[in-house]
Amino acid sequence: MLNGAMKINNLLLIISLIFLIILSGCVTTQPYSKFYKDPNIDINSYSKFYFCPDTRIEDEPESSLIFKIINNIIKDQLITKGYIFVEHPEEADFLVSTLYQVPYKEHYVPPETTYTPIKNYEYTTFESPYLTGSYQVIGSGTKATTEKTTYLPVTTGGYYEGYFYPLIHIDMYDLQKVNPFKPTEQIIKINSQTLFFSGSAVDSSKENDITKFAPTLISTILKNFPSRIK
């Protein structure tokens, strides 16, 4: 079994890698994720889960509702994988804890020069005799003989562009190692010794509605959490 310090280090590594994307101002084309799974744990030994009721990282009034939406999505996806949701932590094998954030970051877009093609032609003068009545007249004209393409540079100035970075983090804790006779408050008390799975996913968008991105972010995380073999 990995010790608590190693588990904490893995968790910090996941969070630091996720926030590295945010701080660098990168724009993702698909969710970026990292996860940690204890290699010494047989996840198939778990079957019933419960949600930690104390998870909060934002003080907004709608925070509680958003957590309910996120947890319902997690619940549905875990049930699809063969796990069972229970109403009381004393009945659960593992505890699910969720966090979310939607930080905003502006990054500088440097000036860019594009080149617009412009076609130019070289003309030559020619003389051509023709008859008008009983007189011969020498006429003259021009015609295009050579085509040349030149490129006109157009430079747009640098500017700042901002993006939201919806992020969801999921931790799972082993409740089988906790004394079942302890009060509920102690059962749901999380600690690094029982952490066996941790994952984060982040995306980038012009929108800040975390619930819109939650299904994709959660599935990106939980694809690394194996289905239960019944």
Distance CA 12, CA 24 (A): 18
The listed range with the strongest mean pLDDT (66-70, 72-76, 143-147, 201-205) is: 72-76
- Round the average pLDDT of the chain to a whole number and report it: 75
- C-alpha 195: how far from its chain's center? 24
Compute the average pLDDT of residues 95-115: 86
Distance CA 26, CA 204 (A): 8
Q: Domains in the chain, ordered, with CATH?
A: 4-107+160-222 (3.30.160), 112-156 (no CATH)
Distance CA 230, CA 212 (A): 32
The listed range with the strongest mean pLDDT (3-12, 73-82, 120-129, 164-173) is: 73-82
Cβ(137)–Cβ(130) below 8 Å: yes
> Residue 63, class by beta-carbon neighbours within 10 Å (0-12 exposed, 13-18 middle, 19+ buried)?
middle
Compute the average pLDDT of residues 102-108: 83
The listed range with the strongest mean pLDDT (117-121, 201-205, 211-215) is: 211-215
pLDDT number for residue 70? 93
Residue entry with tokens 């019933």: 48
Which of the pair, 227 or 5, is modelled with greater confidence?
A: 227
Which of 52-66, 90-104, 147-161 comes out lowest in average pLDDT?
52-66
pLDDT at 192 over 70: no
Which of the pair, 81 or 18, is modelled with greater confidence?
A: 81
Tokens of 215: 């299904």
Confidence of residue 145 (pLDDT cuts 50, 70, 90): low
pLDDT at 198 over 50: yes
Model confidence pLDDT, tens digit, residues 40-67: 888 888 999 999 865 444 455 567 788 8
CA atoms within 13 A on the CB side of 215: 2
Q: Which alpha helices (DSSP H) does 112-206 contain, by range?
A: 184-187
Cβ(34)–Cβ(14) below 8 Å: yes
Compute the average pLDDT of residues 138-167: 75
